[in-house]
């Protein structure tokens, strides 16, 4: 998915309403230092320095949707203890959150406590007493969920086998969503997939598919065979099998299987990646994307999620930062520039801007771009159009057409986005980007850099990068002419 497509989806997110019913859990992280062994037993002694909390399980799906800007309806149950009170308050206080969290006196809110030192997890302590919903809590949730069906564009079920998704709830709600034409997505758990019958999409991972079918997966062919069999048995519209570093396999009724390749990312933690997939898949479908495209953007979101440590929500800026694997992905049209920049700045990304003709890329250009990228999180390059270069440099230029120059720039790791402008100066482009840092070569002074006064007026800065001696496009063209003669 290109930056302009991501920008369009980000812009549509606030108009998408997503209901999430499932097992709410509390994730706590206890952070400290280990400097010695406990005197009473041969175990590390953690000296606690801080503790953080966030919603886990189905709550993490809600957190992801809120971070992406969707209108979310959280539906679930918690226990009456302090942890449950905090969790319910958290989920209902998120932006654009209008759901219902039942307090069930017969339940204990599931809590996962992770002890961490020097970035390493030492121990996890789970606090839970598995129990189904009480009749009163089930009735309360059913009423709220039925009302949510009237407002939701898509309905998500996040199953962590903690007892919230009872067979009765699932049966009634899957029938209601299908009757209303609202897509229903299920992130499954356990071996009883009969509860998910007639759902629109179910999203097991490889291990879950093996567990429910009782067979070992040896290759992608066996994923296809077992997944398709399960899809038919449950009368699903589609099955999306998550294959970790191998991406995903989408099995849709009456269509050929589609393999969604994973993007290479350094994996720090897979915690919550499945929640991110469910959230993004639901949002994309709710916004009207076809299932194949929704699966692709969900796969991209999963790649961003595993690059984070612990249970953490993915933002649009995280996805825009993963678009640079292909030079073509980096080409950004003016019509989408504002949405992309706004998304990056909302996530507190430091935006750097530079511009030029970049005709016949040379070491001086590479140094400029490399040094510019070090000054922030995102580097946007303004590229003079062919007509603009011709007016500035003469009829013999450019040597390379604007599309080729954009392609070459996009191939550099330092460059995040390239946008072409028609004017002789980038003044209007700089006003649209409002960069935190404006960069030019050392042959300029701050006063002569176009846009410097504007950038400094709102607190931005201008940076000058020293030139590489004897390296310029003009000198290269001159030497080429000498060779020809």
Give how far Cα 390 sits from Cα of 366, 385, 424, Å: 23, 9, 10
Residue tagged active-site, from 27, 275, 329, 436: 275
Q: Is 275 a catalytic residue?
A: yes
Q: Residue 165: which of 54, 75, 72 has the closest Cα? A: 75
| Active site residues per annotation | 275
């Amino acid at each position: 998915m290109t930056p302009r497509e991501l920008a369009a989806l980000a812009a549509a997110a606030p108009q998408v309403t997503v209901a999430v019913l499932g097992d709410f859990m509390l994730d706590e992280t206890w952070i400290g230092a280990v400097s010695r062994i406990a005197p009473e037993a041969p175990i590390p002694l953690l000296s606690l320095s801080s503790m953080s909390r966030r919603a886990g399980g189905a709550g993490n799906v809600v957190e992801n949707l809120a971070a992406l800007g969707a209108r979310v309806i959280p539906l679930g149950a918690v226990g009456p203890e302090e942890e449950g009170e905090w969790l319910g308050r958290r989920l209902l206080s998120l932006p654009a959150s209008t759901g219902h969290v039942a307090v069930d006196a017969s339940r204990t809110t599931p809590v996962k406590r992770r002890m961490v030192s020097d970035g390493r997890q030492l121990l996890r302590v789970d606090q839970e007493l598995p129990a189904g919903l009480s009749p009163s809590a089930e009735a309360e949730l059913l009423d709220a969920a039925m009302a949510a069906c009237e407002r939701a564009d898509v309905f998500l079920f996040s199953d962590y086998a903690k007892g919230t998704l009872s067979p009765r709830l699932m049966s009634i709600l899957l029938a209601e969503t299908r009757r209303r034409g609202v897509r229903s997505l299920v992130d499954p758990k356990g071996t009883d997939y009969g509860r998910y019958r007639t759902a629109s999409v179910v999203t097991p991972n490889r291990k879950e598919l093996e567990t429910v079918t009782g067979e070992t997966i040896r290759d992608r062919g066996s994923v296809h065979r077992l997944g398709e069999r399960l899809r038919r048995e449950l009368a699903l519209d589609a099955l999306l099998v998550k294959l970790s570093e191998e991406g995903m396999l989408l099995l849709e009724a009456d269509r050929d299987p589609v393999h969604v390749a994973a993007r290479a990312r350094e994996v720090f933690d897979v915690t919550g990646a499945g929640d991110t997939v469910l959230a993004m898949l639901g949002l994309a479908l709710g916004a009207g994307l076809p299932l194949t495209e929704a699966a692709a953007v969900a796969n991209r979101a999963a790649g961003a999620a595993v690059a984070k440590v612990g249970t953490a929500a993915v933002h649009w800026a995280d996805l825009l930062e993963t678009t640079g694997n292909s030079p073509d992905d980096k080409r950004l049209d003016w019509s989408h520039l504002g949405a992309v920049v706004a998304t990056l700045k909302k996530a507190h990304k430091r935006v750097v801007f530079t511009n030029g003709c970049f005709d016949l890329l040379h070491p001086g250009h590479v140094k400029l771009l490399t040094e510019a990228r070090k000054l922030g999180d995102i580097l946007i390059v303004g590229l003079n159009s062919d007509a603009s270069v011709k007016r500035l440099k003469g009829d013999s230029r450019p040597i390379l057409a604007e599309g080729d120059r954009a392609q070459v720039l996009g191939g550099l790791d330092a460059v995040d986005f390239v946008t072409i402008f028609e004017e002789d100066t980038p003044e209007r482009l700089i006003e649209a980007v409002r960069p935190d840092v404006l960069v030019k070569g050392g042959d300029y002074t701050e006063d002569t850099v176009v846009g410097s006064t504007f950038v400094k007026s709102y607190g931005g800065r201008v940076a000058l990068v020293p030139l590489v001696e004897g390296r310029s496009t003009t000198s290269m063209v001159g030497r080429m002419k000498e060779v020809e003669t």
